[in-house]
Structure 1
């Protein structure tokens, strides 16, 4: 069982579910409809799980170099079982989205298709693959807002969606730096393998610094002061990532820091969207 949880990268799936929850509470300002929020979280988790599993299916040879302890290259899970799991979870997730509405169904379907083609071919095409990962990750937050789909949900949810996109894009760039050796061996076109590690680092830092510069904007849309308070450790870990050494090893450290940043960012939006009378 633990191998299957590793295959779908359960911690990342939980992160995607938290992203959906973030989008929902930000859009709704904590006015819950239990059915829609549970359904949207389940949909996002299932589609994400399928995406991570199919990614490992297509990455099995590369992972023999970069991550030999993963379930597929280590032989803990059969390739056939991984394929069945990935298709089943994505199909079920997309099917369930029908019960939320046709727009929600369309977004879930597009996300599933993008994740499949990312794993199959886009991942090896450099920037297009990075953009797909950033977009589908940001969709987790956006989907929560779409599940609420009332009032001025779009105006409120678009900001955390953009932040998620930029943070994930920067993380994808540093991940390519971390995986430089294996990607170069199998001719995977990341920023690091095409432009070099130093240039990839420069671009990564520009993206992440841009995100930090615009981070106070939610205060203009009525987010409470706790948003800024929680943003302090977010700044700390993001800056640690930005200041990591300009090497493939530094890319590994930066990716770890940015995972923490992503979690703190969602918490900042969740708490920051609470009506102030609840907090006092």
Structure 2
């Protein structure tokens, strides 16, 4: 059973579910519908990750040979059926929220599957932007569950910026496995230009990160978390300027840690 948990990438799913909770808390008092939204998001994310592994089988044999499919722990057919089952269960849960939330759940489920099946193979910035939308949208989903989505839009935008940077850095890291299969930005343009683009998105997110505290959307409890997160992201910009390829594994992990800190800051600052 461990392989079915591994293929879901549960940490990523938990982060997405936590984003729903933050969006819902920003939207107002928590309601029972938020629990359905959290569970649906976890399953949609898990389904998308599983579908991604199904379509990335050849690439993962090079980049991640210990993943469940290339290691032989799960068959490709079994993974595909598992992904579809998770999508269906998630949509069933979303029917218990409200119509806007159900529509977003259906749209994101379709987007995740299409990303794995076709969009990712096209490569380029479209691939990165699609993933970043999907990463940022759980905040909006939480707002919809609380029936007050407008307050989450700024957070959606900042999350979109940070994750776009991380996706580009991941492409730099995965260059060897991608070069014969995908037209990612590093495959098309080398390492320097994608590193500059990633740094631009990081710098923009750092500049915007103080706005929620200034505008009163969150309390001052948010500040210690975002200061540390911004320092980490500043360090990432420096590392990318020095050596994009060699620093990419470390940078993408650091960006993920900064994102977790920012999530905690938004959650605690919402009280």
Aligning the two structures, in what range does the TM-score lie when normalised by the shorter sequence? over 0.9
Structure 1 residues without counterparts, runs of 5 or longer: 275-280
- Tell me the CA shift for residue 227 of structure 1: 1.1
Equivalent residue for 2:166, pick from 167, 171, 175? 171
**Equivalent in the alignment of 1:221:** 215
- Tell me the CA shift for residue 86 of structure 1: 0.5
RMSD, matched Cα: 1.1
TM-score of the aligned structures, taking structure 1 as reference length: 0.92
Equivalent residue for 1:83, pick from 56, 80, 95? 80
**Equivalent in the alignment of 1:121:** 118
- Tell me the CA shift for residue 246 of structure 1: 2.4
Alignment of 1:235-274 (within 5 A): 235-244=230-239, 245-274=242-271
Asked whether the 8 Å contact 1:179–1:248 carries over to 2, the reply is no
1:168-191 superposed Cα distances (whole Å, 9 cap, x missing partner)? 1110000000001111022x1111
1:210 aligns with 2:208: no
Cα distance in 2 for partners of 1:129, 1:107 equals: 19
- Tell me the CA shift for residue 60 of structure 1: 0.5
- Tell me the CA shift for residue 19 of structure 1: 0.9
- Tell me the CA shift for residue 136 of structure 1: 0.8
Cα distance in 2 for partners of 1:129, 1:92 equals: 26
TM-score of the aligned structures, taking structure 2 as reference length: 0.95
- Tell me the CA shift for residue 141 of structure 1: 1.2
1:57 aligns with 2:32: no
Asked whether the 8 Å contact 1:201–1:246 carries over to 2, the reply is no
**Equivalent in the alignment of 2:15:** 15
Q: Which runs of 4+ in 1 moved over 4 A?
A: none
Structure 2 residues without counterparts, runs of 5 or longer: none
Cα distance in 1 for partners of 2:59, 2:71 equals: 12
**Equivalent in the alignment of 1:183:** 178
SS of equivalent to 1:121: helix
Q: Greater shift after overlay, 73-82 or 174-183?
A: 73-82
